[in-house]
Structure 1
Amino acid sequence: MLNKLLQNKVRIISLIGLVLLLAIIRAFENQLFYDPFLSYFEGDYNKLPLPEFNSVKLFFGLLFRYSLNMILSLAIIYILFEEIDLVKFSTVLYVLFFIVLVIAFYSVLYFYTNKNNLILFYIRRFLIQPILILLFIPGFYYQKINK
């Protein structure tokens, strides 16, 4: 087992580095991204009105953060499974999820204003956090062991 660990030390170090980069993105989110909802959702958001925001800046902030998380997540998937087809498939899924989630986010934001803040919270959570990788890794692993 120790030999196997030593053989895979580059992969293990790479995985640790990528996970640390995901943590750094989270740690410096206030400095890196435009998102007036960061502080809004820390408080009692069900009783507060929505914060003022610039839709275009918010979209590009979400896109930038989602893209960083996606790139790091795809790298993690590649290192874990070493299959480029899984990375391609994951890329398509990430792009489709982004499109659906952004449409849902702005729909809730503009059409439901303060009525569905919890839905807005969870849609935004999928956009800003690398949650999808937590779904993809077990799914791909299950698929791999059943081949």
Structure 2
Amino acid sequence: MSRFGKVYDALSEDKSRSNEFVLQDGFLFKGNKLCVPRTSVQDFLVLELHAGGVAGHFGRDKTIALVEDRIYWPSLKRDVAKIVERCRTCQLAKHKRKNTRLYTPLPEPHVPWQDISMDFVLGLPTTLRKHDSIFVVVDLQNGPFHPLL
């Protein structure tokens, strides 16, 4: 029997009253929050509140607050945290290494290939060929948007 089964059965048979739970139109509520049993519907609702809409992919705490405001189940906080933790979009957005060093300006060159800049960009999303970084070379005379000759 589901975690809400006994409460639902008791309220539907009207054998007992509950100050905590209410049965309305076949739906079980705890206060004004819909009780959702352990099904894939929980994951769907959490993902809708986490990533749905225009301003989606809120962090763990804000997603928990949004879900708690509307829905109830006993392990809600732990389950929502796990779902947000597995969100691929959030994982890609939260890059663990950040380059916090200040860049040193290079002297302005007067002839092509006098000064070049090279750098690796690491930790990018993995491509189909399993690459996650790029090597960038810039001829400072021509600027970063001109083809190297």
**TM-score computed with the length of structure 2 as normaliser:** 0.24
Structure with max Cα Rg: 2
**TM-score computed with the length of structure 1 as normaliser:** 0.24
Higher strand share: 2
Higher relative contact order by CA 8 Å / sep ≥ 6: 1 or 2? 1
Higher helix share: 1
